[in-house]
Structure 1
């Protein structure tokens, strides 16, 4: 009988963790597992993709209430009786660990999808709960080192499985040249403090005084967005810097870019950076966490200090001043780098080995 795998995540919004979990569910399904994905918030951005992959998806309405969430999910897991549970993000991982502590008879895989910046009380509870997990998957080497340094007793159960990229979907398109009358910079990600967009806006304001540029940023918005709007108004960038809602056709967004920029203060193993590179788009990004591992300085992209606006400006202008043949070389090397790092076969086979252990 096929092994039953339950994938647990908070919702199906347009976030990177959601994208990877939906992809994992589909790949496990293709490899003969019986897969069901469960959420406790009804945000269905990726539901059409799950449906196209033939993966069952269930929204637990009772678990939407935080006071009944653990009980509702525990009851559900007891009734469904999966062979393995894979939990992404902090909340679902903690809940899955509690369910395992209460007697759950499943193999539990929790996953670290970002890098810990400080040990808050919630982080401490999470890492305490991980003693009940069978495997802790980090999607970045930076976070694996954090676990090793701060929680050495968990380290033997910790494994790095970096994100995968659908190389068939995110393919380069042939382009005659970089012929926009301006440099079109694209960014993708939640409009939040982590993404460092305020400093990016400051850098764009300086760059545009020397070169024609336009910026398109796609992503969900939180309260930080109001500060970004204020900064754009202050610098009169309304015709230059535009925010857009998340899109199901994100590959089209990459294909429209001359340059992709990810200015984050910290990251895990960023999907959007790897997807842009897979599409053959030259990239510039912050020199943080696993970014220098993904982007080879001067070969597959350029790196900058996210806390230094002038360094960001210098890096963008360095790219602008490249001749077309060197831009093409960066783009080709970016694609090759992702082919080396982000194979879906390596990704799914790593999870299969853990599930079947």
Structure 2
């Protein structure tokens, strides 16, 4: 089987990391895989090429130029499956196939559940998805959202959960000292990740329970790196000083040893305003952490299934503080049991080999359905 993966550029986002894991995993399974990056090269191209994945990159300006580039690529590579990663790349793949290509097109959508109905980009993507053979998403919430907004997609949307190198993320071998209690948050510090309300929640929890806890936030100060702090980061930092909790909240910036950060933590806090599915939550769960998470994506489903944490409303600092307080007051033995259930669910739902299997089965089903249609 030949699989072509389309993406704008291999940036450092979660969806791009999933693409890289998929491409490398399919190549290890013996498939012929090539990646087209139509917005030009990135430093991450070499990481894929080192795994034996061919990466083709050109910078195309404008939608028509990108479609033309993808059409030439489909003609040259002749994949069985053309898989667009994220809305724009999926639209490019679907339009490129209209030029007469015989491949099956799989569109990816990770965030429709968080889009406002008035956004033209949403309706443009949903219209283009009608040209794809199937659509894949990461969460049940997003599947339901897609099928509600676009009835023409009903029965054509599959759910494939994120893949994770579970072996890399392991629980700490011995219990941490109980004090101070350490929460950690992981993710780039910008508006969607909700840093200002988190700082307000820390101040509220401090007012109730004193200063026997800490929050360590690991992640770039802005989407463009530590040297380009976001306005949300600057406001959150100033807010922590104004509220008198600067000693309780530490923004560490980008780290390349995130496993150690999880292992030095009692519980994960992830109070994001919107998500596809957050890799940080899966990583923390694999490290055996109980979780405090907002009611976004499939996080309520995870908490209900694993009984491993507490939910909060992301838009309400008091609700975030309430959930943090519940975790703070949970006994150590129960937190350890919650952490054990976290790890079991992380392995069952998010193991990388399961992730590769699910995509391979989806590709195979798409090709089988096409063969049945032709024979019929």
TM-score between both structures, scaled by the size of structure 1 = 0.90
Aligned: 1:171 with 2:170: yes
Q: Which secondary structure does the structure 1 equivalent of 2:166 belong to? A: coil
Residue pairs, 1:16-55, within 5 angstroms: 16-41=14-39, 44=42, 46-47=44-45, 49-55=47-53
- How far 1:170 moved relative to its partner? 1.8
Contact 1:8 1:37 in 2 (8 A): yes
2:370 alignment counterpart: none
Give the one of 348, 351, 359 matched to 1:343.
351
1:333 alignment counterpart: 341
2:307 alignment counterpart: 299
- How far 1:298 moved relative to its partner? 8.3
TM-score between both structures, scaled by the size of structure 2 = 0.85
Q: Which secondary structure does the structure 2 equivalent of 1:36 belong to? A: strand
Contact 1:267 1:290 in 2 (8 A): no
- How far 1:303 moved relative to its partner? 1.2
Give the one of 184, 198, 208 matched to 2:182.
184
Aligned: 1:324 with 2:323: no
2:123 alignment counterpart: 124
Residue pairs, 1:43-192, within 5 angstroms: 44=42, 46-47=44-45, 49-60=47-58, 62-63=59-60, 68-114=65-111, 115-119=113-117, 120-175=119-174, 177-179=175-177, 181-192=179-190
Q: Take 1:353 and 1:185, find their aligned partners in 2: how far apart are those partners?
A: 38
Which whole-Å deviations, capped at 9, do the CAs of 1:111-154 have from their partners, x for residues lacking one? 11122331211110101011111110011101110122121111
2:319 alignment counterpart: 311
Q: Which secondary structure does the structure 1 equivalent of 2:164 belong to? A: coil
Change (3 A) 1:245 1:80: farther
Q: Which runs of 5+ in 1 are unaligned?
A: none
Which whole-Å deviations, capped at 9, do the CAs of 1:159-197 have from their partners, x for residues lacking one? 11111222212222312x221642332212233322222
Q: Which secondary structure does the structure 2 equivalent of 1:295 belong to? A: helix
Q: Take 1:155 and 1:331, find their aligned partners in 2: how far apart are those partners?
A: 36
- How far 1:347 moved relative to its partner? 2.1
Q: Take 2:245 and 2:8, find their aligned partners in 1: how far apart are those partners?
A: 36
- How far 1:47 moved relative to its partner? 4.1
Give the one of 232, 235, 238 matched to 2:240.
232
**Higher mean C-alpha deviation, range 263-272 or range 274-283:** 263-272
- How far 1:251 moved relative to its partner? 2.3
- How far 1:58 moved relative to its partner? 3.0
Q: Which runs of 5+ in 2 are unaligned?
A: 224-229, 368-376
1:271 alignment counterpart: 279
- How far 1:207 moved relative to its partner? 2.3
Contact 1:186 1:215 in 2 (8 A): yes
Change (3 A) 1:30 1:313: same
Q: What is the alpha-carbon root mean square deviation over aligned residues? A: 2.4
Which whole-Å deviations, capped at 9, do the CAs of 1:257-279 have from their partners, x for residues lacking one? 22211101222222211111011
